[in-house]
Amino acid sequence: MPSRDYSYDIPDHSVSYDNVDPRTVKFDPRAQRNLNKARARAIAEKLVPTALGTPIISAREDGLYAVDGMHRVYACQLILAGEVSVADEVRKAVRSITCEVHSDLSMADEASLFIIKNKESSKVGPNDEFRIGLLAGHPLFQDTNDILEKHQLKVGSSSANGVRGIKGILSIVMDYGPEILDQSLTIAEDAWGRTPDTWYAVTIGGIATVISKHSEVKHPELAEKLKRQGDPTAFKAKIHTIATNNNTRADGTKGRLKAAHLAVASAWNAHRRANRIPLPNIFE
């Protein structure tokens, strides 16, 4: 199990709730998602001032910067600039909006605050969360990135050197530690070489589960066993078949991970009399 602390934290600092002219707020995409102007315009066109909530702002030395709620803030800017037609009472209401203003934060602290505020939200994509988590200097993202860089892998790429399921990769590090991720990626590459499906996060998760639970599993032999199962695309399809029980049921993420565990364990046990490992019951 991982020994590092992967909790989120930022230092104690001043927080106030102030009325802010949205036109004074700036945006820095390094510490959050990129501004989607079309989305902000759509918000502006249907804006209900009482539903604005409380955008989160960082008071830097050179001005106010949005940490969370930037699309709502930008929507107000569009309205006040006359770029979106709204009722006079809406325009008047957004001249000054209540914001949660944080002072004395570093940019890394801002990134951590963004992650904390959005951790339980579906609004932030996993690739953005990974990028911002790196900026925050959070150990989970740093440790994961160190292993990915060691294997010359990039997050979000669809190439033979790209990892698309970063959320699943982060879960491996959280559950088992970076060393298990390192070993799992090595086994996958030894089995199948460098292809996009080699790095399928669910397959890597299955390998990680098996080697973390069963010390008797030898890595070079497991790689050879997996290679005999076919190419990584075929193995990915096998996981899907197991998870859906031959397309008779839905396969959520947990179901696919259980199926990957079963597929990797079954590959290890194939034609083996000694050192067999128990197979999980994935439909329990």
pLDDT in tens, 102-132: 999 999 899 889 888 877 555 668 888 899 8
User: Within this chain, do residues 86 and 175 fall inside the same structural domain, yes or no?
Assistant: no
Q: Which structural domain, as residue segments, surrounds residue 154?
A: 138-269
The radius of gyration of the chain from alpha carbons, rounded to an integer in Å, stands at: 24
Nearest to residue 101, comparing CAs of 50, 76, 65? 65
Count of Cβ atoms closer than 10 Å to residue 141 Cβ? 24
User: Within this chain, do residues 27 and 112 fall inside the same structural domain, yes or no?
Assistant: yes
CA distances from 121 to 115, 117, 137, 279 (A): 10, 8, 21, 35
The pLDDT tens digits of the residues spanning 201-260 come to: 999 999 999 999 999 999 999 999 999 999 999 999 999 999 887 666 666 678 899 999
Specify whether the CB–CB gap between 35 and 68 falls below 8 A. Answer: no
User: Within this chain, do residues 112 and 143 fall inside the same structural domain, yes or no?
Assistant: no
User: Within this chain, do residues 170 and 58 fall inside the same structural domain, yes or no?
Assistant: no
User: Within this chain, do residues 83 and 35 fall inside the same structural domain, yes or no?
Assistant: yes
User: Within this chain, do residues 179 and 247 fall inside the same structural domain, yes or no?
Assistant: yes
Q: For the chain, where are the alpha helices, taking DSSP H only? A: 37-45, 70-80, 88-93, 107-118, 126-136, 139-150, 166-176, 178-192, 201-213, 219-227, 232-243, 253-269
Burial (CB count <10 Å: 0-12, 13-18, 19+), residue 87: exposed
- Among the candidates 88, 118, 148, a domain finishes at 118
pTM of the predicted model, to two decimals? 0.67
User: Within this chain, do residues 44 and 155 fall inside the same structural domain, yes or no?
Assistant: no
DSSP symbol at 218: -
In a domain, residue 130? The reply is no
Q: Is the pLDDT of residue 84 over 60?
A: yes
* Residue with the larger pLDDT of the pair 284 and 128: 128
User: Within this chain, do residues 147 and 99 fall inside the same structural domain, yes or no?
Assistant: no
User: Within this chain, do residues 196 and 83 fall inside the same structural domain, yes or no?
Assistant: no
Average pLDDT, the chain: 91
In a domain, residue 127? The reply is no
In a domain, residue 169? The reply is yes
In a domain, residue 176? The reply is yes
Q: Is 266 helix (H, G, I), strand (E, B) or coil?
A: helix
Non-local CB neighbours of 153 within 8 Å, separated by 6+ positions: 161, 162, 163, 185, 199
DSSP symbol at 35: P
User: Within this chain, do residues 79 and 148 fall inside the same structural domain, yes or no?
Assistant: no
In a domain, residue 19? The reply is yes
In a domain, residue 281? The reply is no
User: Within this chain, do residues 75 and 142 fall inside the same structural domain, yes or no?
Assistant: no
Look at the chain and count its residues: 284
Helix 219-227, helix 253-269: angle, nearest 10: 100
In a domain, residue 4? The reply is no
CA distances from 119 to 80, 128, 177, 259, 260 (A): 31, 12, 20, 27, 26
In a domain, residue 282? The reply is no
- Read off the CATH number of the domain in which 52 is found: 3.90.1530
Total domains in the fold of the chain: 2
According to the model, what pLDDT value does residue 10 have?
A: 86
According to the model, what pLDDT value does residue 117 have?
A: 82
